[in-house]
Structure 1
Amino acid sequence: MTTQAMLDERYGRARSPRRRIVLWSVVGLLGVGLTAALAWTTVSNSLASVTATDTGFTVADAESVTVSFQITAPVGQPVACAIEAQDEDHGTVGWRVVEYPASDDHSRAFTEEIPTLALATTGFVNSCWVP
């Protein structure tokens, strides 16, 4: 054994093949674990998501707007939706949160009335969520 090889071995400068295998195994396991955690987060968030689609609105008068919409939500979960009425300057003139009980249907349609403070020009679903 040469003097340089003896010094490398004594002070740990030379890497053994076993140490390299262990290091790459740990890196691989961490990679697989992070990928699995990201996949689980993505799937669990999409299972609990609620989507709302506006199907129409009717401005009855300066005091109310009727909004029609359809929601797609997880089966067996209650849902809450915030519906909004706006004027021609996009200012909020009416706002209401409605809650719906759990249902066996994946998609449901609703029509709700929003009381307004001034004449509205539009009505829509702002957002929906599982409470």
Structure 2
Amino acid sequence: MTSPTSPPAGRYGRSSSPARSIWIIASVSVLAFFLWVTWVFSTDPTTGIEWVAFESTGGETTASVKFQISAPPGTPVTCALRTVDASMGTNGWTVKSYPASDQFTTQYSETIKAVSEVSGIDVYRCWREDR
């Protein structure tokens, strides 16, 4: 009967050391932390939108919306507004610029004309013009 023999030394390469694994995990953790910090500081929580009212009567191709924009005083803001039809497809679109205000929150009202019957309207996105 034959006894099992061990493979020759070095046949499968050297085994990784625990210190190397620790360095890899630490490096990935530090990189993830810096990416997270960059993401947190690149977002702007000081600009926001709040919808106040939506007006549209059935069968019309126009809709009105009242909304509030929150932005630091002295900051001009631009907003994209859109209307949607019954299948939630965009059927009207406009981009409006609002001048800088001396207040943090200002209220606006807009009316948008669409190409077909309007089922809804929203302020799609707002951004600060100083960027």
| TM-score, normalisation: structure 1 | 0.64
Match for residue 93 of structure 1? Answer: 91
Match for residue 71 of structure 1? Answer: 69
Query: Distance between the aligned counterparts of 1:37 and 1:116, measured in 2?
Result: 42
Query: Distance between the aligned counterparts of 1:104 and 1:39, measured in 2?
Result: 31
Match for residue 103 of structure 1? Answer: 101
Match for residue 56 of structure 2? Answer: 59
| TM-score, normalisation: structure 2 | 0.64
What is the root-mean-square deviation of aligned Cα atoms in Å?
Answer: 2.6
Query: Distance between the aligned counterparts of 1:74 and 1:40, measured in 2?
Result: 22
8 Å contact from structure 1 (residues 58, 67) kept in 2: yes
Shift of 1:62: 2.5
Match for residue 44 of structure 2? Answer: 46
Q: How many residues align?
A: 99
Shift of 1:45: 3.9
SS of aligned partner of 2:79: strand
SS of aligned partner of 2:53: strand
Query: Distance between the aligned counterparts of 1:89 and 1:41, measured in 2?
Result: 34
CA shift digits 1:103-126 (9 cap, x unpaired): 111001111001110111111110
1:120 aligns to 2:79 (yes or no): no
Query: Distance between the aligned counterparts of 2:104 and 2:42, measured in 1?
Result: 17
Query: Distance between the aligned counterparts of 1:80 and 1:44, measured in 2?
Result: 19
Equivalent residue letter for 1:67: V
Structure 1: 5+ residue stretches without partners: 1-34
Map residues 24-43 of structure 1 onto 2, 5 A cutoff. 42-43=40-41
Shift of 1:39: 5.7
8 Å contact from structure 1 (residues 85, 92) kept in 2: yes
Q: What's the % identity of the aligned pairs? A: 30
Structure 2: 5+ residue stretches without partners: 1-32
8 Å contact from structure 1 (residues 62, 117) kept in 2: no
* 4+ long deviations beyond 2 Å: 35-47, 60-63
